[in-house]
Amino acid sequence: MKTKVLAIDDSRTIRNLLAATLEEAGFEYHCAVDGREGVDMYDDVAPDVVITDINMPNLDGFGVIEELRGTGINSKVPILVLTTESAPEMKARARDAGATGWITKPFDDQSLIFALKRVTGAVA
């Protein structure tokens, strides 16, 4: 069974790059165009890992993390932040909200795949 990834990013370019990278590596890829859509589709997708941007319309990445962690059911699913932001206070805020890790854009394909495998224990 493939590892399911739910990627939440308002950038079509990033979603397309993630799709190409993750599908080629053997992951099952699902995406949402903003935080609200991502949270709303979470239960239907039942992902093994979530990747979220921080700066998005409707619900930002911090809101995504807080909503997913707030239900209790989702406390074990890893959440990786993929963003252009790199300020230590933003990383701390994401970690405090329940993020598992932080990756700065632009991302390196192999580093992203390695991080996903590490946090999910998956082979792909």
State mean pLDDT over 13-37: 96
- Residue 41, burial from CB neighbour count under 10 angstroms (0-12, 13-18, 19+): middle
How far is residue 52's CA from residue 85's CA, in Å, rounded to a whole number?
12
Q: Could you tell me which of 21, 17, 23, 20 has the C-alpha nearest to residue 4?
A: 23
What's the pLDDT band for 123 if we cut at 50, 70, 90? low
Choose between 123 and 89: higher pLDDT.
89
Percent of the chain predicted with pLDDT > 90: 84
Copy the structure tokens of residue 117: 């495998």
Question: Is a pLDDT exceeding 60 seen at residue 124?
Answer: no
Model confidence over 11-23: pLDDT tens digits? 999 999 999 999 9
Separation of first and last alpha carbons in the chain: 9
The pLDDT mean for the chain works out to 92
**Quick one: 4-119 is in which CATH superfamily?**
Response regulator (3.40.50.2300)
Count of C-beta atoms within a 10 Å radius of residue 23: 13
Check residue 54 and give its pLDDT: 96
